[in-house]
Amino acid sequence: MKKIKSALISVYYKDGLDVLIHTLAKNNVTFYSTGGTQAFIEKLGFKVIPVEELTSYPSILGGRVKTLHPKVFGGILSRRDNADDIAQLKQYEIPEIDLVVVDLYPFEETVKNQNTLFEGELTSEIIEKIDIGGISLIRAAAKNFSDTVIVSQKSQYQTLADFLEQNNGSTSLEFRQNFAKEAFAVSSHYDTLIYSYFATQQPYENFKTSYMQADVLRYGENPHQQGFFYGNLNEVFDVLNGKQLSYNNLVDVDAAVHLMAEFSDTSFAILKHTNACGVASRPTLLNAWKAAYAADTISAFGGVLITNATLDLATAEEIDKLFFEVLIAPNFDEEALQLLKRKKNRILLKQKLFNFPNKQFKSLLNGVIAQDFDKKTETEADLKTVTKLAPTQKQIDDLLFANKIVKHLKSNTIVLVKNQQLLAMGCGQTSRVDALQQAILKAGVFNFDLKDAVMASDAFFPFPDCVEIADKAGISAVIHPGGSIKDQESIDYCDTHNMAMVLSGTRHFKH
Q: Is 273 a catalytic residue?
A: yes
User: 250-256 long-range contacts, Cβ below 8 Å, gap at least 24?
Assistant: 250/217, 252/303, 252/304, 252/325, 252/326, 253/304, 253/326, 253/328, 253/349, 255/304, 255/408, 256/304, 256/305, 256/306, 256/326, 256/328
Residue 241: what residue type?
N
Which of 3, 273, 394, 497 is an active site residue? Answer: 273
Half-sphere exposure (Cβ direction) of 336: Cα atoms closer than 13 Å: 21
Q: Is the dihedral of CA 455, 461, 467, 468 positive or negative?
A: negative
Q: Reduce the DSSP state of residue 49 to 3 states and report it.
A: strand
Alpha carbon of 472 to those of 206, 241, 412, 453, 456: distances in Å? 52, 47, 21, 12, 16
Which of 3, 5, 14, 143 is an active site residue? Answer: 143
The Cα 470–Cα 476 span in angstroms is 8
Nearest to 327 by CA among 414, 241, 434: 241
Q: Is 407 a catalytic residue?
A: no
Residues designated catalytic = 143, 273
